[in-house]
Amino acid sequence: MILKCRKCHEPAVVNMRQHKLPLCAAHFLEWIPEQTQRTIEKYRLFTRTDRVLVAVSGGKDSLSLWDILKQLGYQADGMTLQLGIDEGLQYSDQSHHFIEKFIGDFWPGSILHTVDVKSAYGESIPEVARRTDRGNARPCSVCGLIKRHEMNRLAHELGYDVLVTGHNLDDEASVLWSNVLNWQIDSLVRQAPILPADRPGLARKAKPLCRCYERDMAAYAVLRGIAYIYDECPFALHATSLQHKAALNDLENKHAGAKLQFYLGFLNARERGLFTLPEEDAPALRTCERCGQPTGTTAGLCTFCRLWDKKQAVVK
Amino acid sequence: MIKVIYRNKQWKVPGRRTVREVIEAVGLNPAMVLAVRNGKLVLDSEMLGDDGELKLIAVISGG
């Protein structure tokens, strides 16, 4: 049986089983930006007068997001971090190559801000991870910390109204799954399509692809002709988050729409106030005395600034 | 037989079944791959012949 596009009755190339919606290539390439726009409006992520900074990594989600926002007419510039991950694959260099190629192929003249971690702070991500005790020789923990800090810093310092990331529904559902398995109440309270800039030094953050399946974002990149980094980060192999995604996809394969229902059910419960902490339980945050970003540390520097202080101590 | 390619792996599997059945036959989850035949995306429900190549793209990738 040949499935037909719901809109034009040509043969479909994508069937979004969670929406019972088969579409041809042309209508699928229209549908994903429309869905993104609906998400932006529903959660009031940002408006067309806002200056938007897109965190791009060379992967399918972030490049597609940048492409979609440009198509939708948003003032979207890009930012990327040169992490210095090589491991025989030149992973970071390859990632950067795909970003440059995307700009050249689709949106020439776009603004891209690049932070080279080693040039800025003296060490690449793997080097910091080897020196510090965070992550037991795997740099994912250090990498996440540095990325969050630097993305926030750049968005704040350059005066962007919002920082957006390419987190898709599978990313959000797997984080939710992990938060529920471990009953990470503080993380459940914070998980949302929008994080307001409600403290000094904090940029507003949004996830416009949070209602799009990862599979559909891969299909978008393929059909649109966006070349992206296909290999996983060499340090991400065996990551727990990938195991959580696989578990959710086992469920999805048997029950189409399971991931969507899981995540949207959570957001609905959140809107009804089921995941709010009493004010006295809200985590106490202060301002880091060096970088000015909010921190949960009890005194002195934030965790990011302490990373580099430890380096100076070793050098001395 | 159909040649199935996924990352750096290859299989030969009997054809005359759907893309979905072929994906499951090589031990992968259809929710986690896209199928490409003759350079074009194909649906899970598409019936395959008994020859040619099916390339599977992992939907979880770098970035």
Nearest chain B Cα distance for residue A236, angstroms: 9
Enumerate residues 6+ apart whose C-beta is below 8 A from A306: A297, A300
What was the pLDDT predicted at A131? 86
CA dihedral of residues B55, B56, B59, B63 (deg, nearest 10): -50
Identity of the residue in B30, B45, B58 whose CB atom sits nearest the CB atom of A253: B30
Among all residues of chain B, which has the CA nearest to that of A23? B43
CB B19 within 8 Å of CB B38: no
Separation CA B13–CA A168 (nearest Å)? 33
Mean pLDDT within A239-256 = 95
**CB nearest to A1's CB, from B36, B45, B57:** B45
Band (pLDDT 50/70/90 cuts) for residue A53 is: very high
The DSSP letter of residue A283 is P
pLDDT of residue B23: 97
Q: What is the mean pLDDT of residues A165-194?
A: 95
- Which residue in chain B has the smallest CA separation from A249? B31
pLDDT, residue A91, reads 87
B interface test, pick of A249, A252, A259, A262 with most B CB neighbours within 10 Å: A249
B63 to A95: CB separation less than 8 angstroms, yes or no: yes
CA of A100 vs chain B CAs: smallest distance (Å)? 14
Using CB atoms within 10 Å of the CB of residue B49, give its burial: 0 to 12 exposed, 13 to 18 middle, 19+ buried: exposed
Looking at the partner chain, which of A1, A2, A229 has a beta carbon nearest the beta carbon of B61?
Answer: A229
Q: Give yes or no for A208 touching B (CB within 8 A).
A: no
Contacts of B58 in chain A (CB under 8 A): 230
What does the DSSP assignment read for A228-254? ---SPPTTTTT-HHHHHHHHHHHHHHH
Question: Which member of B40, B43, B59 has the closest CB to residue A218?
Answer: B59
Mean pLDDT of chain A: 92
pLDDT single digits (tens) A91-117? 889 999 999 999 999 999 999 999 999
For residues A215-244, average pLDDT: 92
Q: Which of A18-32, A43-57, A300-314 has the lowest mean pLDDT?
A: A300-314
Give the alpha-carbon dihedral of A241, A245, A251, A254, to 10 degrees. Answer: -160
pLDDT at A59: 96
Residue A315: per-residue pLDDT: 47
Task: Measure CA of the first residue to CA of the last residue in chain A; give whole Å.
Answer: 71
Q: What is the pTM of this model?
A: 0.94
Per-residue pLDDT of A197-212, as tens digits, reads 988 889 999 999 999 9
Is residue A237 scored above 80 in pLDDT? Answer: no
Q: Do A3 and B43 touch (CB under 8 A)?
A: yes
Say if CB B56 and CB B35 are below 8 A apart: yes
A169 Cβ under 8 Å from any chain B Cβ: no
Provide mean pLDDT across the span A52-67.
98
Q: How far is A57 from chain B (nearest CA, A)?
A: 5
- Mean per-residue pLDDT pooled into runs of 10, chain B (63 residues): 95 95 97 96 94 95 76
pLDDT band for A129, please (50, 70, 90 cuts): confident
Q: What residue type is A19 in one-letter code?
A: H
Q: Which residues of B touch A237 (CB under 8 A)?
A: none
Shortest CA gap B12–chain A (Å): 23
Closest CA relative to residue A167, chosen from A217, A125, A103, A204: A217
Q: Do B43 and A253 touch (CB under 8 A)?
A: no
Flag if A15 and B45 touch (Cβ within 8 Å): yes
**pLDDT tens per residue across span A295-312:** 988 888 999 999 988 666
pLDDT band at A40 (very low <50, low <70, confident <90, very high): very high
Give the B-side interface with A, CB within 8 Å: 29-32, 34, 36, 40-46, 57-63
B42/A242 CB distance under 8 A: no
